[in-house]
Amino acid sequence: MTRAPRTFKPTIEGIEACLAAGVQVRLNCVVEQQNFRHVPEHARTIVERFVKPFPSNPVREVTYTFPSAYWSPEEWKRALVPLDELRPFVLEAVHALTAAGVDVQATGTCGFPPCLLVEAPEAMRFLAPESVSTLDGSGRRYGGACEPCVMKARCLGIRHEYLQVHGDRGVRPFDKEPAVKTVERLDGSRLEPM
């Protein structure tokens, strides 16, 4: 994805060194065709390598995001996974991380629409379009499936790149407001439902 060979080992060592030194760490994982089936394994590895061995300073948050434009437009289009295909893998990863006390961010300007996370309310976040900068919101659109959604006013929509490739495939509009649970983060702060 990054076309940067031999960077995995130094990256792992750098994360471990930061955690050991007391630096708060938040990780980001771009979910795309090459790795989406491995996202649950990725989450379990984070728990085993970066949470359990560092009980006083574990990884604080993991963010799962859509791929943005790649060096090759055709490669990038092939990298986009339909939401209905990646949903079970992202959900399994979210459950593994939140069970270990790691906050998960999978929505927002670079993330997935909240309807991807219906079965994981602990990771569901809503952002009203007017709450983000014009630049951040400009890459989002609503598909036809979004029209009846009762949460549309608090959803940024779908990344326009996804709509170009897959339309609104996998979008599951809310027919009622979801019961979003309060999330307690590792630092003791609480994320209250909107």
pLDDT digits over 43-78, tens only?
999 999 999 999 999 999 999 998 876 777 788 888
Name the pTM for this structure. 0.87
Say how far apart CA 70 and CA 68 lie, in whole Å: 6
